[in-house]
Chains A and B, each alone.
Chain A
Amino acid sequence: MARKVTLQRKLGFTALAWFLGCIMFFPIFWMILTSFKTEIDAIASPPLVFFQATWENYQLVLNQSDYLKYFGNSVVIAGGSTILALLVAIPSAWSMAFSPTRHTKDVLMWMLSTKMMPPVGVLVPIYLMLKYMGLLDTRTGLVIIMMLINLPIIIWMLYTYFKEIPSEILEASRMDGAVLWKEIVYVLLPMALPGIASTLLLNLILAWNEAFWTLNLTAANAAPLTAFIASYSSPEGLFWSKLSAASTMAIAPIMVLGWFSQKQLVTGLTFGAVK
């Protein structure tokens, strides 16, 4: 009897999970589908599920705009900001996790609170600051901004992973004569590697997909793939299937990365919950 109930539950949860998964994936699926339609098919009503597939949109998009330039900018901005943020976040999460003070919790809350503010609230000051520093529409400027934007989340994630590491092991390394950087490089980082890897991946994804700052602070030179997509919703009208093709090309690299690292991502994100 008991077994039957659990089996039903299992089936129920599995069905629910698939259902939710399908709902979440549907827009992406539809986008990919649309990218193979002609512009006429794309706006057909009722929507077409069966149609004559074409590569035309991809060819057009590739010919019209410099995909590789946008792609390169995305790589530099997402990768650079994530790595820079990790370099700052690892020591700060270390100090908050292993030598907390009375105010550590407050600092963490304060950092998180910056994420609660609508970004548009600081758009003008940041725009002006970048302008005066001559960093508008430069990769450097964007790397710095994206690093600052994602820093709170990176520190929070690392902090929770570091908290799981028994401080006695770090103390043992101190007794064994390790100075601070050796303690971090030889003991802390290898032990926190799953957590650091998933932080890195998650932030690559966040930074890759970030649109507000990248659209507002770039023009021709430093524009990443988000701007590449946006350029297809132009004043001359919407080109659905070209827009879809551009979007598909923009998210493809990060989807492939996510697909291959999903195991790492899941273990990292549930770190500590298991065991």
Chain B
Amino acid sequence: MGNIVLEKVNKCFGDVEVIPSVDLDIKDGEFVVFVGPSGCGKSTLLRLIAGLEDLTDGKIVIDGVDVSDSTPAKRELAMVFQSYALYPHMTVRKNIAFPLKMAGMPQDEIDKKVMAAAESLNLTDYLERTPGLLSGGQRQRVAIGRAIVRSPSAFLFDEPLSNLDAALRVNMRIEITDLHKELKTTMIYVTHDQVEAMTMADRIVVLQAGNVEQFGSPLDLYNKPVNRFVAGFIGSPKMNFVKGKDADEFNAHEIGFRPEHMKVSTTKGRWKGVVSVAEHLGADTFLHVKTKEVGTIVTRSDGEINVNYGDTVYVSPNTDKIYRFGADGLAL
């Protein structure tokens, strides 16, 4: 079981309030991702759940038990750190066995579980090595192995893949997703990578300055962002925003439209502009179009489009896919 409820969670470091008040209800078996800009309190929130930081106020309830004042050990959660945090003086085998040893499990049972974990993570050949002799990806696997051996009620990940190269990151992302499907254990995952958030999450928590801006499924956040911040944060490249008479036309203070919802034409369209950057990625082409009326607009079209730096083009938003915001930034 791994149902985690946060009630009015508040955290201050000295006089600095990092988390004003957070309420969350994470269901058993859910894969929840925390995203948000750097310094918004993602790690702090995760560490509060882990018990590595003390709450200033509020309550954390795991499976119906108030654990607000419990030690990390009592909460039975497992954590994977960005730096892997492996024990450098122990072999891979001992690293993975450590939580079981702490739980006082008999040695033969420990051996069995360590072997099973090592097999499922392709680590059997490295069991007698120390972490210093492993590659980044292997270390990450050991960290995951150490987390899964004792079947915790939930897994906490703090940017576990950010030290890996791009190709490995994709592999590990898939491995973690598979692991979640197989174990069906609650996972809370902190990342600043859009793609990780969108592809892995059942639900995403968007944080800003310690506040939960929105908590919903990836497509919910993409299609129905509750405010301008979420609209701008989810989606890559970022949503374009326009104020003034163009917004008035839609009865809004400000309107937003995603790069993928833009038409690009060389002959006619809503706004005329000059291409200042053309990014040809193969499958997609991103154009940064400098217009007189509404500043720089980013568009995304398919790879075949034959437009280059300095060309004059017309861009127009798909009016069905416009996001409208009020003066307070909330979606209308």
Q: Which residues of A contact B (CB under 8 A)?
A: 102, 166, 168-169, 171-179, 182, 186-187, 190-191
Tell me the total A-B contact number using a CB cutoff of 8 A: 58
Bound-state Cα–Cα, A178 to B71, Å: 10
Residue contact B87 to A168, C-beta cutoff 8 Å: no
Bound-state Cα–Cα, A190 to B14, Å: 33
Contact of B99 among A171, A176, A190 (CB under 8 A): A176
B73 close to A (CB within 8 Å): yes
A176 and B83 in contact, given A171-B52, A190-B89, A191-B88 (Cβ under 8 angstroms): no
| Chain B residues whose C-beta falls within 8 Å of the C-beta of A178 in the assembled complex | 73, 98, 102
Contact of A187 among B77, B79, B83, B87 (CB under 8 A): B87
Which are the 8 A-B pairs with shortest beta-carbon distances?
A: A177-B102, A176-B99, A172-B85, A168-B85, A177-B73, A175-B79, A174-B72, A190-B89
Besides the contacts A169-B88, A171-B52, what 9 more A-B pairs have beta carbons closer than 8 Å?
A: A166-B85, A169-B86, A173-B87, A175-B72, A175-B77, A175-B79, A176-B78, A176-B98, A186-B98
* A104 to B: closest C-beta gap in Å: 14
* A250 to B: closest C-beta gap in Å: 38
Residue contact B71 to A174, C-beta cutoff 8 Å: yes
Which B145-162 residues have C-beta < 8 A from chain A? 146, 150
Contact of A166 among B79, B83, B103 (CB under 8 A): B83
| Chain A residues whose C-beta falls within 8 Å of the C-beta of B78 in the assembled complex | 175-176
Bound-state Cα–Cα, A176 to B79, Å: 8
Bound-state Cα–Cα, A187 to B102, Å: 12
B314 close to A (CB within 8 Å): no
Bound-state Cα–Cα, A168 to B139, Å: 15
B50 close to A (CB within 8 Å): yes
Annotate B23-37 by CB proximity to A: 1 below 8 A, 0 otherwise. 000000000000000
Contact of A175 among B14, B50, B86, B103 (CB under 8 A): B50
| Chain A residues whose C-beta falls within 8 Å of the C-beta of B51 in the assembled complex | 174
B229 close to A (CB within 8 Å): no
Bound-state Cα–Cα, A240 to B71, Å: 64
